Structure 1
Amino acid sequence: MSATPPNPSTRPRIVDIAFWCWVSGAVLTAALGMLTLSQGGHPFIYAAGGLLIAAGLGQGYLAGRARGREGKFAGAAVGLAMASVAFLALLLLFGAGAVVICIVAVTMALLIAGSVLVQRGVAQEWFEGAS
């Protein structure tokens, strides 16, 4: 009995997990943006809400393209996720309630987890195999 090599066209499970982490983080990011917009007030609040919505939509788009085995979009998704994490951390400095802090923490954890998983060796080999 010989072991058959894995099919290179089969998407690794780690890429699927990273995709769903990114999509969940993108939905929460956009939801936080809508919540921020609903607070009203200073123009900075409107700008922050708009940026969060745009980041959430962009993250979802990039995650979908990365799931389609396009490595350059995976790299862009990692960059956008880390920029979103930094922006969310900056927004926490302006004060937030306990519920918002918990939502932001979960969002940041999902974006970071997706970024770490897609950088793993198995995922990188799968992306490089598409070239």
Structure 2
Amino acid sequence: MIRLRPHHGMCLAYFEGKGYSDDFTENMQHMLELLEKGAEVEMTVSGDEICKACPNLKSGVCLSADLVEHYDRKVLEHCGLKEKESLSFREFVDNVQKNIIETGKREEICGGCQWNEICRRKESRWK
């Protein structure tokens, strides 16, 4: 079981090898590969396996905690999921694709993110 922030379902959909640091990017790629092999995920609105390598995590606290928690809660709401809910990664990304990406809700949820331009110009890998 891998703990996963709900908003990371969108980040992973558009990930292209760029990130906050080399360590973060390597970890993100590793987690994407691991998750796509059929992992079970548990929704969490706090640090997850991807966050562990983020330079914005200082002494276990995210410098953007309020912002990313807002993203997480919006993803849970749009996908009809709850915090601590477990499901297969495939079910999760299918849900994100159908209920957020295909309905045009992604920019409403996280359009202010510094990585938005990547998401705006790419097609989701979950399509």
More strand, by proportion: 2
TM over 0.5: no
Given the two structures, how large is their TM-score scaled by the length of structure 2?
0.32
Q: Which has the larger radius of gyration?
A: 1
More helix, by proportion: 1
